[in-house]
Amino acid sequence: MKKLILLAAFAVCVMCAPRAQEREGWTALFNGRSLNGWTKLGGKAQYKVKDGAIVGVSTLGQPNTFLATKAEYDDFILEFEFKADEGVNSGVQLRSHSDKSYRNGVVYGYQCEIDSPTTTASIYDEQRSGWLYNEPQIERGYRVGEWNKVRVEAVGNHIRVWLNGKPTVDMIDDKDASGFIALQVHEVGQNKALAGRTVSWRNIFIKTEDLEKELSPEITSIPQVNRVANYVSKREANEGWTLLWNGKDMKGWKSLDPKGDMSKGWTPTDGVLVIKPKSGAGDIITEKKYHDFELSIDFQITKGANSGIKYFISENGSIGCEFQLLDDDNHPDAKMGFKGNRRLGSLYDIIPAQGWKHADHYGWNTARIVVKGNKVEHWLNGVKILSYEKGGHMWKALVSHSKFADVKNFAGGDGGHILLQDHFDEVHFRNLKIREL
């Protein structure tokens, strides 16, 4: 009799234990009772199951610790709920990896961030590239210390995220096509104030088949970030963006000098347009002229390099407005001109900018130029670094104190060509995109 009573009591306990709800067409990654199907990577922070949730506990002296799925996933829709104590930094890894060949097995890859109200549900590239999509101005509705719901749609190279029903990420990226999913307990070093704080997850479901029926409508309320080289996304195309360089050959471009030979130095290499140093190839311009436009170009300078992106190129040869590309630390031009108006991002020799402090100095950066009538803006890596208006008294005064003071009709006329400068140094370009406004 005693044995029967114990068996009955055990059965009641099993029936009463928290269990993941069943959802047709979806798979529960967490059954609500145990950590079956998961494995710990990295450090030794604690993960436990409590009240139908996985609870990660911040631990002194431990590196980032991850609880990873044993299975890997490519295209999927993932939904989960999380709750984090105040001050906790955490996240959920997507299509991630841990390979002995990469930094002794550290976990790396896309992470759906869990941190502050302005960064939660953004995408961070853990232990690799850093922020991939982080737009602090987006309204997230994050509830610190309460349960929040996240939805991730990862199909092909397109990743989108929602937090509590609000879109927070619209990203195109081709770094990883598949990988595991993992929950993170972030390192806290020796900060005793953070030791013991927790982050919890529950209702973790994934769908991997018949995704087209479940995908959300196109997002238009937040920016899209496209990190695939020389590729125009469907949304970008709908917004009027086109490639200014096709990533393969020099179609659409020509030498500024009719007798020049751009093939001497302008070399398409694995989707990157490289100008070789001291090649004598000369400047190149677009075959087409542009008036009102938004131009975006990724560039990478080498140490000590000088180059530029020029616009309003017309009857004055290579003379026009220039978004200066320069190694401010090692090129002498950075100390010339007036108050830094020859430094990175400046309107060359006219208006200074502090582009160097916003740049990955020898990595890839994105220059953006916006022209609407006489109003022009220079942007670098998402930061507006200067703006001006042509034609007025201030403009005339600025030009009169520059090296262009004696140039007839400087930057005047009706639009002009886009120019990439050969200044005898090696510079790399990719993702040349433009939309006419």
- Tens-digit pLDDT profile for residues 241-267: 999 999 999 999 999 999 999 999 999
Residue 124 near residue 131, CB atoms below 8 Å: yes
Phi, psi values for residue 333, rounded to 5°: -60, -25
% helix, strand, coil for the chain, step of 5: 10, 40, 50
Q: Collapse the DSSP code of 393 into the 3-class scheme (helix H, G, I; strand E, B; otherwise coil) and give the result.
A: helix
| Over residues 378-397, mean pLDDT | 95
Q: Is 54 left (phi over 0), alpha (psi -120 to 50) or beta?
A: beta
Q: Using one digit for the tens of pLDDT, what is the confidence trace for 348-384?
A: 999 999 999 999 999 999 999 999 999 999 999 989 9
Torsion-angle region of 21 (φ positive above 0: left; ψ -120 to 50: alpha; else: beta): beta
Q: What pLDDT band is residue 316 in, cutting at 50, 70 and 90?
A: confident
- Strand pairing partners for 295? 369, 434
Residues of the chain above pLDDT 70, percent? 95
φ, ψ for residue 383 (rounded to 5)? -115, 125
Residue 11's pLDDT is what? 40
For residue 393 the two structure tokens come to: 């008294």
- Cα distances from 2 to residues 6, 7, 13, in angstroms, run 6, 9, 17
Name residues whose C-beta falls within 8 Å of residue 430's C-beta, 6 or more positions apart in sequence.
Answer: 229, 230, 245, 247, 271, 272, 273, 298, 364
Min mean pLDDT across 1-15, 200-214, 346-360 is at 1-15
Strand 180-185 and strand 375-380: the pairing is unpaired
Quick one: which of 431, 102, 76 has its CA closest to 242?
431
Nearest to 119 by CA among 89, 93, 148, 153: 89
Q: What is the pLDDT of residues 34-75, one digit of tens each?
A: 999 999 999 999 999 999 999 999 999 999 999 999 999 999
- Residue 415: its pLDDT value, please? 87
Query: Does the structure show a pLDDT above 70 at 416?
Result: yes
pLDDT at 180: 98
Is 423 a residue whose pLDDT tops 80?
yes
Identify the residue with better confidence: 203 or 2.
Answer: 203
Q: Is 234 left (phi over 0), alpha (psi -120 to 50) or beta?
A: alpha
**What does the block give as tokens for 240?**
């009027």
